Amino acid sequence: MSKRYLPFFPLKLAAFPGEQLNLHVFEPRYKQLINECIEESKTFGIPVFGENMQKFGSEMELVRVVKRYPDGEMDIITRCLSAFKIFTFDEKAPGKLYAGGEVESIENIHDSSEEQWQDLKRLGKELVSVLKMDDALDVDLLTNSFELAHKLGLSLEQEYDMLQMPRESQRQTYMINHLERALPLIREMENAKDRIKMNGHFQHHDPLNF
């Protein structure tokens, strides 16, 4: 895939391909950026910002402007088209208020097996059950690792790792390994919470018979 220049809207999040992201735009530089996206039908990039600017991000398209405010602020709906790798970064794109840089899209390869996906969903369901979230999340309605990652509350660092992976099989393996490590710890934490709830309650104990 060829490199191209994108305007940047850095945020402390990882947007995954296909994900919808709602944003409130209030800074002058980003008002300028989004107005150009409206007028020129162009996309923009969200580089992931942790402690500092990361090397990967997400290309976003503007779906619609939900609300405009008198001062030019906006509520917008965007959608992620693909992940990208950043090759150059300009604090200000030429002649603009906002940042920009040269990027290259990362191909999203759908190569997982049904068996692997079922293994991942089984672990996801176990976590949902342990956390007693069955009513809030139906894992069977999800279709890929990206959807599952957001729903199960991975950290920004973990989501950033997944954003860089071009293959669905890689992402599913990553999540399976994460859940297999995390489930015993989470199960023990939930059991501890149940034990704490019992403390202080009036309980009936049979006295020891000497």
pLDDT at residue 202, rounded to an integer: 47
CATH class of 4-106: mainly beta
Per-residue pLDDT of 160-193, as tens digits, reads 999 999 999 999 999 999 999 999 988 888 776 6
pLDDT at residue 190, rounded to an integer: 75
Say how far apart CA 46 and CA 6 lie, in whole Å: 10
* Assigned token pair, 41: 């039908």
* Helices and strands: H and E segment counts in the chain: 5, 6
Phi, psi of 79 (to 5 degrees): -140, 140
pLDDT at residue 198, rounded to an integer: 55
Q: Which residues, given as ranges, of the chain have pLDDT below 70?
A: 1, 192-210
pLDDT at residue 162, rounded to an integer: 97
Say how far apart CA 169 and CA 206 lie, in whole Å: 55
pLDDT at residue 210, rounded to an integer: 40
* Assigned token pair, 75: 């509520």
Single pTM value for the model: 0.84
> Where in the chain are the domains?
4-106, 114-198
Say how far apart CA 120 and CA 100 lie, in whole Å: 37
